[in-house]
Structures are given as structure tokens and as C-alpha cells.
Amino acid sequence: MTQLSLAYIFQHQKLLVDQNLELPKVEKLASDLPIHHNDQVIARDLLDDEIIPEGYQLVPIRELIQSWPTTAFLQASRAVQLLEWRRNHKFCSHCGHHTEIHPKEYAMVCPACGYHQYPRVQPCVITIITKGKDEVLLAKSAHKHYGNMYGLIAGFVEVGETLEEAVQRETLEEVGLKLKNIRYMSSQPWPFPSNLMIAFHAEYDSGEIELQIEEISDAQFFKFDQLPEIPFKGSIAHAMINEIIESNEKAS
Ligand SMILES: [Zn+2]
């Protein structure tokens, strides 16, 4: 009997699942990407012209984060990032030759010059800024698809920068404030497309709110009990806001 593998089958950022959001089981193909070096779990691309099997649907992984347990979402997130990395590294970035898949590691290897291309994550800092005992800075994005939601200050770490410097720089750029007592909180892989979100708590130090209007349409300090619409459950921003408010409740 053929052994079936649990399959993460993606079309771009959408995952193939059945009506109960369960993954399909498939016969493994040579082109499949093993997940966790384990043949029982694989990832593959579903091409745009391939037919969606009966009883299955394509669900954006952004939606799965709200219905799946964290560990399941993280595995799906790993699968989609590895597939995207493999798709984007078919050629050697050093000499332009076709690459080959390394048999054991996650590496795309150039047979001509030997250059190895590995998957990369992009470090991204996200900061919850508090003022006094019961106020938090929340900012509304200038990009329309975020609607009325107020989130936290976030941005990519630049080359040669420490994480703390990135926190200070992003905050100064986006809302014109200086921070003190920057403390690490937690982290979360975020597959849109391949970020590692690194969460910090910082306290307001000085400055008046001054918006970077291309990025931020509004930013204010809100009282903990008068928050506007915040990011959805499952996002690191949601967890950070809850954690800060809960620790304040315990302290008071
Ligand atoms: Zn090469």
C-alpha cells in the first residue's frame, strides 16, 4: 500500500483544505518539498491552471491564523515560505546558471559555481509604546485596506542596525517620538512574505506626535479602557496589546 503524505498545497498565498479546514493526503511526488525533513508532510505548488479537487477549497493563510491553533499555522507558514523561496531561486544569483535542489538541506545549489542559496527571513521590529500607567500609542495606516484599524509601529531592520536602533528609528520616522526602556517581549514568524516579527515594549520618552503622512494617517495615545479597533486575534500586535493591558491590571 502506498503511504500517503499530509500535504500543504498552495496557490500563491492560498492553501488547499477541505470544508473542515483539514489538509489533504496525497501520494508523494519527486518534486514535493519535504517539511521538517519528514516525508510524511510535504508542500507543493498548485499551478494556476490546475483543477481544485472536489470537496476542497483555497483559503488565504491570513484567514487560517484565526481558525487554526498556533502550531498548525506555523507549519503552514513554514511551508508557504519554503515554497516561495524555492520558486524564487531557480537560477544562481551569482552566475545565472540553473540551480539544483540540495538533497538534504534547504539550499538551492549552483552546479556551475557551487554557490548555495538558503531561505532568508527578514527581521522586522514591532513596538508597543506606553505612556504612564494606562496609555498606549496606536497608529492608523495610510494604506486603505487596513480600514479603521489602529495598530503598532513596525518596520524592517536595516543593514548594520541593532534591533533597538530599528525600534527608535521607525518610531521617530513614523510618529516623531523618542523612546526609553526598550525591552524585548516575544517573536512570531509572519509569512507575508517572509518576516520574523520581533516584539518590543518601550516607554514614551519625549517629543510631540508628528505623522509620516505617506505611512500613517493618525496616531494617538489611547487609554487602555478606550481602545479603537485593533489588529485581529492571532497577530502578534493583538497579543502584545493584550499582554501589556493584562500585566497592568495585575499590577494595579
Ligand atoms: Zn552559480
pLDDT tens-digit series, residues 11-35: 988 999 999 999 999 998 888 998 8
pLDDT value at residue 124: 97
- pLDDT for 161: 97
Q: Does pLDDT of 39 surpass 70?
A: no
CB 134 within 8 A of CB 223: yes
Q: Which DSSP category does 213 fall into?
A: T
Q: Could you report the per-residue pLDDT of 169-206, keeping only the tens digit for each? A: 999 999 999 999 999 999 999 888 889 999 999 999 99
Please give the distance, rounded to the nearest whole angstrom, from the Cα atom of residue 196 to the centre of ligand 1.
Answer: 28
Instruction: Tell me the backbone φ, ψ of residue 182, rounded to 5 degrees.
Output: -75, 125
Lowest mean pLDDT among 22-26, 37-41, 241-245: 37-41
Tell how far the Cα of 104 is from the centroid of ligand 1, in angstroms: 19
- Grid coordinates belonging to 148: 479603521
Q: What is the DSSP letter of 91?
A: B
Residues 138-156: tens digit of each pLDDT: 999 998 888 899 999 999 9
CATH architecture of 122-251: Alpha-Beta Complex (3.90)
Whole-number Å distance, alpha carbon 88 to ligand 1 midpoint, is: 15
* Extended beta strands in the chain, E state: 4-11, 14-18, 25-27, 33-35, 38-45, 56-60, 100-101, 108-109, 116-117, 122-131, 135-141, 150-151, 153-156, 178-190, 195-206, 216-223
* Cα of 119 from ligand 1 centre, angstroms: 16
Q: For position 55, what pLDDT does the model report?
A: 95
Distance 117 CA to ligand 1 centre (A): 10
**Domain boundaries, given as residue ranges, for the chain:** 4-88, 91-120, 122-251
User: 114 CA distance to ligand 1 centroid (A)?
Assistant: 6
Q: Global pTM?
A: 0.85
Query: Lowest-confidence range among 70-84, 175-189, 213-227?
Result: 70-84
**Rounded distance from Cα 95 to ligand 1 centre (Å):** 4
Instruction: Report, as an integer, the average pLDDT of 80-107.
Output: 93
